[in-house]
Amino acid sequence: MDGMPRLPMINVDFKHAVASGFSEFSLKIKEYILTHYEDDPKKYETALSEMESLRAKLYSFTPDVETVCQAKRYYSQLRLMKSRFPMEDGDPIRIPFSWATKDSDGITCTYEDVNFELACVLYNIGAIHAAIGSGENRIDSDVLILDFLLMP
């Protein structure tokens, strides 16, 4: 591995989740469970509060292994919910998902589509991996093995 070139790693800015509008998330999901599945929405309060907690961790974070694992878990849970609840543009459950970049000067981007949320979370997963990789020295073989294991 000594002959391999050491290319510089790029470190991209993160997107930050914004809390505005997301408070409706649990309420709209509970209403949909009650009306369409005719089930008691109180049974799902723990799961919904866990989803809200996972998203809240994306408001402000440090790029580390724990954060990338939480982001991947939130992404996976959101994909599962997307298959069970109509949350895309024009569907009955329209939840506003808001995100901002570091240099947006308070300007946020909001869409009522779960695909926007999925794209932003996936972007952050890649950005966190890039931040972790750019902070490593890549000379020690143990570091290279760890980086390989952290790959998505």
How far is 95 from 19, CA to CA, in rounded Å?
A: 12
Q: Which pLDDT value is given to residue 12?
A: 86
Assess contact for 71 and 124: CB atoms under 8 A.
yes
56's tokens: 């809240």
How far is 3 from 6, CA to CA, in rounded Å?
A: 9
Query: What residue type is 60 in one-letter code?
Result: S
- How many CB atoms neighbour CB 142 within 10 A? 7
pTM of structure? 0.85
From first to last of its 152 residues, what are the pLDDT tens digits of the chain? 455 566 667 788 899 998 877 778 999 999 999 999 999 999 999 999 999 999 999 988 899 989 999 999 999 999 999 999 999 988 989 899 999 987 767 788 999 999 999 999 999 999 998 888 777 766 666 666 665 566 55
> Which ranges of 8-113 would DSSP assign to H, the alpha helix?
24-32, 45-56, 65-84
68's tokens: 């990338």
Q: Which pLDDT value is given to residue 104?
A: 65
The position carrying tokens 């939130």 is 74
Q: Which pLDDT value is given to residue 144?
A: 60
Domains and CATH numbers, the chain: 15-150 (1.25.40.280)
Q: Which pLDDT value is given to residue 9?
A: 72
